[in-house]
Amino acid sequence: MLKRRYSNIYFLGIGGIGMSALARYFKSKGVFVGGYDKTPSKLTKQLENEGIMIHYEDLGANVLELVGDKESTLVVLTPAIPQDMKELISLEKEGYIIHKRAKVLGLISEDWKTLAVAGTHGKTTTSTMLAYVLSNSVQRCSAFLGGISANFDSNLVLDENAEWLVVEADEYDRSFHQLKPFSAIITSTEADHLDIYHDEKNMNEAFEEFTQLISSNGKLIAHYKVNVGKNMPRITYGIGEDIHADYQGINLRVVDGFFTMDVITPTRKHGNIQLGLPGTHNAENALAVIALTESIGLKLEEIKPYLQSFKGVKRRFEVIVQKDDIIYIDDYAHHPTAIKKLIESVRMIYSNQSIHIIFQPHLFTRTRDFMKEFAASLKLSDEVVLMPIYPARELPIEGVTSRALADMIGSHVHVLESNEVLEYVKHIKEGVLLTVGAGNIDRLVEQISEILA
pLDDT at 191 (0 to 100): 62
CA–CA separation, 7 and 66 (whole Å): 13
Residue 268 predicted with pLDDT over 80: yes
Say how far apart CA 22 and CA 76 lie, in whole Å: 9
pLDDT band, very low/low/confident/very high, at 164 (cuts 50, 70, 90): very high
Nearest Cα neighbor of 19 from 95, 104, 123 is 104
- Interatomic CA distance for residues 263 and 261, integer angstroms: 6
How high is the pLDDT of residue 421? 96
- pLDDT 10s digits, 331-348: 989 989 889 989 998 998
| The pairing of beta strand 73-77 with beta strand 154-157 | unpaired
Given a cut of 80, is residue 173 above it in pLDDT?
Answer: no
Give the model confidence (pLDDT) of 9-62 as tens digits.
999 999 999 999 999 999 999 999 999 999 898 899 999 999 999 999 999 999
The mean pLDDT of 162-174, rounded to a whole number, is 90
Q: Are strands 97-100 and 73-77 parallel, antiparallel or unpaired?
A: parallel
Q: Is the pLDDT of residue 195 over 70?
A: no
Segments in 136-246 forming alpha helices (H): 194-197, 200-211
The DSSP string of 309-373 is H---BTTSSEEEEE-SSEEEEEE---SHHHHHHHHHHHHHHSTTS-EEEEE--B-HHHHHHTHHH
Q: What is the pLDDT of residue 193?
A: 59
pLDDT of residue 197: 65
- Is 60 exceeded by the pLDDT of residue 375? yes
Distance CA 405, CA 126 (A): 30
Q: Which of 176, 192, 195, 172 is nearest to 184 (CA)?
A: 176
Check residue 359 and give its pLDDT: 97
More confident of the two residues 68 and 374: 374
- What's the whole-number average pLDDT of the chain? 93
Q: 84 vs 36, 201, 392, CA distance in Å? A: 15, 31, 15
- Give, for 276, the enclosing helix (H) or strand (E): none
What band does 438 get if pLDDT is binned at 50, 70 and 90? confident
181 touches 213 (CB < 8 A): yes
Lowest average pLDDT, out of 122-126, 287-291, 398-402, goes to: 122-126
The Cα–Cα gap between 309 and 275 comes to 7
Contacts of 346-353 with CB under 8 Å at 24 or more apart are 346/432, 346/434, 347/380, 348/252, 348/278, 348/279, 348/280, 349/254, 349/259, 349/278, 349/279, 350/432, 353/327, 353/430, 353/431, 353/432
| Domains observed in the chain | 8-99 (3.40.50.720), 112-309 (3.40.1190.10), 318-452 (3.90.190.20)
SS3 24: helix
CB neighbours of residue 336 within 10 Å: 23
| Angle between helical axes of 300-309 and 280-295 (0-180°, round to 10) | 150
**In terms of Cα–Cα distance, which of 307, 355, 365, 308 is closest to 331?**
355
The Cβ-side half-sphere exposure at 140, using a 13 Å CA radius, reads: 8
Q: What percent of the chain has pLDDT over 70?
A: 97
68: burial class by Cβ within 10 Å (0-12, 13-18, 19+)?
middle
- pTM (predicted TM-score): 0.83
* DSSP for residue 177: G
**Averaged pLDDT for residues 200-216:** 90
pLDDT of residue 349: 84
Instruction: Name 177's Cβ contacts closer than 8 Å, sequence gap at least 6.
Output: 206, 209, 210, 213
What's 390's DSSP letter? Answer: B
Contacts of 95 (CB under 8 A, 6+ apart): 70
CB contact burial 197-217 (16+ within 10 A = b; e otherwise): beeeeebbebbeebbebbeee
Q: Which amino acid is present at 106?
A: G
Report how far residue 168's alpha carbon sits from residue 118's, in angstroms, rounded to the nearest whole number: 6
The torsion defined by the Cα of 72, 78, 79 and 81, in degrees rounded to 10, comes to -90
CB 452 within 8 A of CB 424: no
